[in-house]
Structure 1
Amino acid sequence: MKLQTLACAVALMTGGLFFSHTVNEAIAATTVNQQVTLAPTREQSLVTRQVATLVDRQHYLNMRLDADVSRRVLAMYIDSLDPDHTLFLQSDIDEFNKKYASSLGTSLKTGDLAPAFNIYDRYRTRLNSFYQFAMQQLDKKQNLHRNDFIELDREKAPFFNSKRDQQEHWQKMLVSQLINLNINKEEEAAKQQALKANPALAAGQDLTPPEDLTPVETLKKRYRRQMEQQTRIKSDRVLEKILNATLATYDPHSNYYAPIEAMELNRQTTLALEGIGVSIRPERGNEDYTRIETIVDGGPASKSGQVKSGDRIIGVGQEGEPIVDVIGWPSGEIVGLIRGKRGTKVTLRLLATGAAANQARVVTLTRDVIQEEDSGVRSRVVNVKRNDGEHKIGVIEIPSFYLNYRARREGNSYRSVSVDTQKALVALQAQNVEGVVVDLRNNPGGSLEEVARMLGQFVKDGPVVQIRDGNGNVNVFRDEDGGEQIYSGPLAVIINLASASASEIFSAAIQDYQRGIVIGSTTTGKGTAQVQLDSLAYGQATLTQRKFYRITGGSTQNKGVVPDVPLINIYDEDLGERKAKNALKWDTIQTAPYKREGVVAPFVPQVSTWSTARTNVEPQFVYLSALKGIAEKTKDKKQSSLNIDTRKREIQELEAETLRAENARRTATGLQPYANWESYQAALDARSESRAKMKAAQRPPLPEDEAFITESANILMDMASLQKAHPEAKVSDASITIAQKPAS
């Protein structure tokens, strides 16, 4: 969360967001004679036919993949390849529309991938043109003091009609990136000077500076690396692009995953992966190397005793195959090589930090299932100080509604969020907590079965969510544990814009039953359910087939869940379903009969007033509000200057505002203010390095993050005291006038 909004603001100010997509997603181009020929396989053609038929016949919308939808699929495919409209020419688009617009859907339903591969081939040709142009221009001196601007958002801009117009824009892109790199180099030098003057800023961490390259050398190196990466592109890339464009034409949550990506999908939903049990990241100061950061206890790497934190991975080999040199590879690609099926072997060539290349050692490990203990439910007790003393509040952090379906089906031991939550509730009650805060921030959802079980631990009985299919049939999921209630005490739920799907079902039900108070910011608005298609001919897919509705009848789709008591939203609204392309609409169905279990609504106005009074003076919330204000200043910025002096002034103004906000927070919390921006950045780097070396469960919460927990605990105590003081309150009461002051 730290400085997320500011980072977006600075990127917009510098033109970084626009350029980075074009480079990172697309500019991994290569020369014509190096370009690998891509062609669909039989399995890819078969799965194309399967997915196209499924979306045509079984999607929630009941929308045929006809000529009209085919045109939309083509437009979505083109935009997925060239979202900023800087690579294809308008003549390309005209040609594609003439050849494929009305027939692409039919081609997909017959498994014919030729149109998709032909378009992708043209895309790579245009990428190669950009690459050649860029490398030629980088051999020339560039003017960084221009008086014009670069457009920051070209999503809806027309494609260029001529190569001349296109190259003029490419020239602007290069200048913009060189300006960024020059400014970054100057700021890095200033930061290193601050570290030299005050080594304590490093807090004992190795803050090695990046390679000492000129901005032009840095940009050339990036292009060469991306060019080499492009030679490793497989036909799976094209398959994923076209099938996801097809599915995204229907809704944002129907997706296709090629085999490697399918493994990641399974890992996220089961908290288990098949690998060796290490986490990796690019090495600080030298992006050519990827290093092992942490090692999972009990995993193959840990058991071997031959793998150490800090080792560089310079080669990876599959069983029976030679070791592939991975120096310069992105971390994501290296992860894809290391992961694999349980029981198979993977060989790593490792280089200890500081060792010479000829001292590399080779380690062969057998992959196994790694249970990610740090990724599951976590609970703790926080002590909240109020005027009447200190109070113990339990906190349960739920990262997702996970369930290992496969392990359960096979009769093996498995983890599930409902079981882990039940254990946490029992443990917290044994510590005599006065209330429980369930933290669903950033929870993307998961198993519907699990969210129903979890709700049963907090409510006595009744419906928990309604689900409607594409034919209008409504199914009501109920709490069916016979009235058993694990926890019946004071309850609060924290949500934010990154809480989605099952998180929204849970918080909506708690709110509708008035079982507890919901706190935070409006959720994502993903009120759809997908079936996971794991028996396809190749890879996996998810297909939207149902829609969620609250027990009161309103959908959680699009609108999301609105909290009872709002706290600052730290995310950009673009994250939510409301800004997604082709998102399904909000609507209502009939209410499911249910009985409210508490009285919350009448007390919300007073509790909200008390909360606002606290957050207006709480240093962490004041700080977050300041950052949000800084980000909003540049949110709608359409252009960025191509004059390095102008760009510097703009960035320095943002930095000065941010530093003032940070120092005001530090002063208010008894810490020493930073002398300058460079000292601040050095300290942030040191903290980032330190936290990266810790396992997730060992990382202390950031103060701005913990402020949400503390305030939620205070809100919960306020609500509980009002409910106790006014037992006569009824759900029908609009509000209750409270004369007393909050206890905090």
Structure 2
Amino acid sequence: MSQRFRLITLALLLGVGAAQAAGTPPAAAPAAANGKEAPLPLDELRTFAEVLDRVKAAYVEPVDDKTLLENAIKGMLSNLDPHSAYLDPEEFADLQESTSGEFGGLGIEVGTEDGFIKVISPIDDTPAAAAGIQPGDLIVQIDGKPTKGQSMNEAVDSMRGKAGSPITLTIVRGGGKPFDVRLKRAIIKVKSVKTQLLESNYGYLRITQFQVNTGDEVVKGLAQLKKDNKGKLKGLVLDLRNNPGGVLQSAVEVADAFLTKGLIVYTKGRIANSELRFSADPADPSENVPVVVLINGGTASAAEIVSGALQDQKRAILMGTDSFGKGSVQTVLPLNNDRALKLTTALYYTPNGRSIQAQGIVPDIKVERAKVTREQSDFEGFKEADLQGHLANGNGGKDRPTQPGKAPEAAPQDSDFQLSQALSLLKGLSVSRGN
């Protein structure tokens, strides 16, 4: 991939404490939008100083200046949008650490909604996924302590801990009654790309989140699928369901693996370095294989960039349900004493100029989640060719009687309705194109 991706200072982050950080150097602090220093709001600063003085003098317990000022900064940022945040040294280190795909905790990507902590998506192969945590779940208590009013960073911090230590989350799902989920923390090692053949000629590539090396892993995954298939694929399912996003340049690299020309995404903001445009290069690791992209309500941020680019460029068919709708870009700005500011600085737009913010991506074919149940036919295992004295084939072909044998091995599409529909669509495309 081009060096231009490694020089980008913007990081597209889902607004969660366990999300990815930029894999590039943090951006420098932006200058004023018009190049001039804005006048100081003297009246408001006097009010702030007065409130600070009154709290120090009259609050029931002594509070030091550092605590008051840090709380003021956190409050200032938390009221801007759900994704801007002030990061203390530990939180900043956690954000940087998670980019590598290894961090401690439960494996839940979270946001906020009406003052509660809301699950965006569980990460594959983590305690949260194993315990059945689902996108949209509200975490109302952590170890018996209500989350109402907690900041996202506070909630995430309380869910982190030593591997093997127990934790109880109280969940509300779909407006129902609260219930407890007991888990054990673990070291979360996330492999962002997984591949396998669904059956001969049809591949499956899942991206769980966008880490620094995800673009390279996708290119390697496409090559591995071709090798496993012993030749070019006839179709590929790209699974972005419950993918909470991550690093912007990785999303661009993934989209570029399927596109040979045209715009992938552009960003617009108030500061000069937030105006960015990314276009595809001619290389085509995907070999123009037909693609169906699976999305759902847990598909967010960087995953929506890829979905939107492939949809606008008519490179793939999107199937599933509406995506999450997180279309903003956060810049990580370093501060003194190993602290940082995660600030929303731009919105991103798909090649056709769509802003996904608070709207999401609408799939080309809507397919709701459902269970697949295989029924046994009354006539299974008995055909015309099994009947004694049956007529021979009119063209002289060989008989095809029932073939005894064991049941086929279970495949992912056998229990996943959306994946099953995606595979069927790819097969239909292959037949209609004469492949």
TM-score (ref. length: structure 1): 0.35
Matched, 1:516 2:316: yes
Say if 1:720 and 1:436 are closer, same or farther in 2 by CA, change over 3 A. Answer: same
Query: Pairwise mapping of residues 490-639 of structure 1 onto structure 2 (< 5 A)?
Result: 490-568=290-368, 620=371
User: Quick check: 1:438–1:494 contact (8 Å CA) kept in 2?
Assistant: yes
User: Quick check: 1:240–1:258 contact (8 Å CA) kept in 2?
Assistant: no
Residue 224 of structure 2 corresponds to which residue in structure 1? 427
> Once the 2 structures are TM-superposed, how far is the Cα of residue 478 of structure 1 from its aligned partner?
1.4
Residue 479 of structure 1 corresponds to which residue in structure 2? 280
For 1:506 and 1:485, the matched residues in 2 are separated by 15
Residue 405 of structure 2 corresponds to which residue in structure 1? none
Say if 1:246 and 1:379 are closer, same or farther in 2 by CA, change over 3 A. Answer: same
706, 721, 740: which one aligns with 2:431: 721
> Once the 2 structures are TM-superposed, how far is the Cα of residue 711 of structure 1 from its aligned partner?
2.0
User: Quick check: 2:252–2:278 contact (8 Å CA) kept in 1?
Assistant: yes
> Once the 2 structures are TM-superposed, how far is the Cα of residue 485 of structure 1 from its aligned partner?
3.6
> Once the 2 structures are TM-superposed, how far is the Cα of residue 563 of structure 1 from its aligned partner?
0.8
For 1:556, give the aligned amino acid: I
Say if 1:105 and 1:430 are closer, same or farther in 2 by CA, change over 3 A. Answer: farther
Residue 419 of structure 2 corresponds to which residue in structure 1? 709
For 1:502, give the aligned amino acid: A
For 2:94 and 2:348, the matched residues in 1 are separated by 25
Question: CA-to-partner distance for each residue in 1:159-211, whole Å, 9 max, x for gaps?
Answer: xxxxxxxxxxxxxxxxxxxxxxxxxxxxxxxxxxxxxxxxxxxxxxxxxxxxx
Residue 250 of structure 1 corresponds to which residue in structure 2? 80
SS in 1 for 2:241: coil
Residue 269 of structure 1 corresponds to which residue in structure 2? 99
Question: CA-to-partner distance for each residue in 1:398-446, whole Å, 9 max, x for gaps?
Answer: 111111xxxxxxxxxxxx0011111111011112243111111122222
Residue 288 of structure 2 corresponds to which residue in structure 1? 488
For 2:52, give the aligned amino acid: A
For 1:711 and 1:240, the matched residues in 2 are separated by 51
For 1:116 and 1:399, the matched residues in 2 are separated by 49
Question: CA-to-partner distance for each residue in 1:215-241, whole Å, 9 max, x for gaps?
Answer: xxxxxxxxxxxxxxxxxx999987775
For 2:342 and 2:84, the matched residues in 1 are separated by 5
For 1:272 and 1:427, the matched residues in 2 are separated by 24
SS in 2 for 1:526: coil
Number of aligned residue pairs: give it: 307
For 1:252 and 1:105, the matched residues in 2 are separated by 28
> Once the 2 structures are TM-superposed, how far is the Cα of residue 518 of structure 1 from its aligned partner?
0.9
Say if 1:120 and 1:526 are closer, same or farther in 2 by CA, change over 3 A. Answer: farther
For 2:99, give the aligned amino acid: T
Matched, 1:401 2:201: no
User: Quick check: 1:446–1:501 contact (8 Å CA) kept in 2?
Assistant: yes
User: Quick check: 2:263–2:351 contact (8 Å CA) kept in 1?
Assistant: yes
> Once the 2 structures are TM-superposed, how far is the Cα of residue 392 of structure 1 from its aligned partner?
4.3
For 2:91, give the aligned amino acid: E
SS in 2 for 1:525: coil
**Identical counterparts, % of pairs:** 24
When the two chains are superposed, the root-mean-square deviation of aligned CA atoms in Å is 4.9
For 2:80 and 2:349, the matched residues in 1 are separated by 20
Say if 1:713 and 1:545 are closer, same or farther in 2 by CA, change over 3 A. Answer: same
414, 417, 432: which one aligns with 2:214: 417
Say if 1:520 and 1:65 are closer, same or farther in 2 by CA, change over 3 A. Answer: farther
| Structure 1 unpaired stretches of 5+ | 1-53, 71-101, 126-232, 281-293, 296-329, 340-347, 350-369, 384-390, 404-415, 571-618, 622-664, 671-699, 728-744
Residue 90 of structure 2 corresponds to which residue in structure 1? 260
Residue 52 of structure 2 corresponds to which residue in structure 1? 114
Query: Pairwise mapping of residues 30-429 of structure 1 onto structure 2 (< 5 A)?
Result: 103=44, 107=48, 114=52, 242-273=72-103, 333=158, 335-336=160-161, 338=162, 373-383=189-199, 391-403=200-212, 416-429=213-226
For 1:256, give the aligned amino acid: Y
User: Quick check: 1:59–1:543 contact (8 Å CA) kept in 2?
Assistant: no
> Once the 2 structures are TM-superposed, how far is the Cα of residue 491 of structure 1 from its aligned partner?
0.6
Say if 1:279 and 1:526 are closer, same or farther in 2 by CA, change over 3 A. Answer: closer
Residue 600 of structure 1 corresponds to which residue in structure 2? none
Say if 1:461 and 1:115 are closer, same or farther in 2 by CA, change over 3 A. Answer: farther
For 2:64 and 2:284, the matched residues in 1 are separated by 53
> Once the 2 structures are TM-superposed, how far is the Cα of residue 718 of structure 1 from its aligned partner?
2.8
> Once the 2 structures are TM-superposed, how far is the Cα of residue 476 of structure 1 from its aligned partner?
1.6
Question: CA-to-partner distance for each residue in 1:256-300, whole Å, 9 max, x for gaps?
Answer: 222233233223322134x7xx979xxxxxxxxxxxxx99xxxxx
For 2:280, give the aligned amino acid: D
For 2:365 and 2:289, the matched residues in 1 are separated by 19
Say if 1:719 and 1:502 are closer, same or farther in 2 by CA, change over 3 A. Answer: same
Say if 1:240 and 1:265 are closer, same or farther in 2 by CA, change over 3 A. Answer: farther
| Structure 2 unpaired stretches of 5+ | 1-28, 108-124, 127-154, 166-185, 377-410
> Once the 2 structures are TM-superposed, how far is the Cα of residue 106 of structure 1 from its aligned partner?
7.0
For 1:117 and 1:701, the matched residues in 2 are separated by 59
User: Quick check: 2:271–2:345 contact (8 Å CA) kept in 1?
Assistant: no
For 2:64 and 2:375, the matched residues in 1 are separated by 53
User: Quick check: 2:321–2:363 contact (8 Å CA) kept in 1?
Assistant: yes
User: Quick check: 1:493–1:517 contact (8 Å CA) kept in 2?
Assistant: yes
Q: Which has the higher helix share?
A: 1
For 1:514, give the aligned amino acid: K
Question: CA-to-partner distance for each residue in 1:350-375, whole Å, 9 max, x for gaps?
Answer: xxxxxxxxxxxxxxxxxxxx996543
User: Quick check: 2:413–2:420 contact (8 Å CA) kept in 1?
Assistant: no
Question: CA-to-partner distance for each residue in 1:46-97, whole Å, 9 max, x for gaps?
Answer: xxxxxxxx79x7699x9x8987xx9xxxxxxxxxxxxxxxxxxxxxxxxxxx
For 2:353 and 2:335, the matched residues in 1 are separated by 34
TM-score (ref. length: structure 2): 0.57
For 1:395, give the aligned amino acid: Y
Say if 1:240 and 1:707 are closer, same or farther in 2 by CA, change over 3 A. Answer: farther
> Once the 2 structures are TM-superposed, how far is the Cα of residue 250 of structure 1 from its aligned partner?
2.6
User: Quick check: 1:271–1:371 contact (8 Å CA) kept in 2?
Assistant: no
For 2:57 and 2:205, the matched residues in 1 are separated by 49
Say if 1:470 and 1:427 are closer, same or farther in 2 by CA, change over 3 A. Answer: same
For 1:437 and 1:260, the matched residues in 2 are separated by 39
Question: CA-to-partner distance for each residue in 1:284-323, whole Å, 9 max, x for gaps?
Answer: xxxxxxxxxx99xxxxxxxxxxxxxxxxxxxxxxxxxxxx
> Once the 2 structures are TM-superposed, how far is the Cα of residue 487 of structure 1 from its aligned partner?
3.3
